[in-house]
Amino acid sequence: MVWKIRLEKPAEKAIAKLDYQTQKQIKNYLRNEVLLLDNPRFKGKGLTGKKKGLWRYRVNKYRIICRIENDILTILVLQIAKRDVVYDD
């Protein structure tokens, strides 16, 4: 299976605000760790509560919140933020 990654506007803005090294780590993680999997649920963790149905990946202090869309083989990145902020809603 060939998965694609799409970033929503809030995720694009969040990653643009990060320092170059952190941007590179997050992009490399998504490209080299998640996209190469047959099923992106082999990594990361499913969320519960208000964010039930979403998936999260961890890169250092940052969390990448995604919706995995099986029907179109897309990982939709909704939010990127530090742990203490990302789960607030």
Q: Which CATH number goes with the domain that contains 28?
A: 3.30.2310.20
What pLDDT is stored for residue 31 in this prediction?
93
Question: Residues 16, 24: contact at Cβ < 8 Å?
Answer: no
What is the value of pTM for the model shown?
0.91
Domain ranges, residue 28: 4-86
* Number of domains the chain contains: 1
* Three-state SS at 80: strand
Q: Which residue has the tokens 């803005």?
A: 13
What pLDDT is stored for residue 26 in this prediction?
96
Instruction: State how far the Cα of 49 lies from the Cα of 70, in Å rounded to an integer.
Output: 21
What is the mean pLDDT of each successive set of 10 residues along the chain, which is 89 residues long?
91 96 96 92 93 94 95 94 82
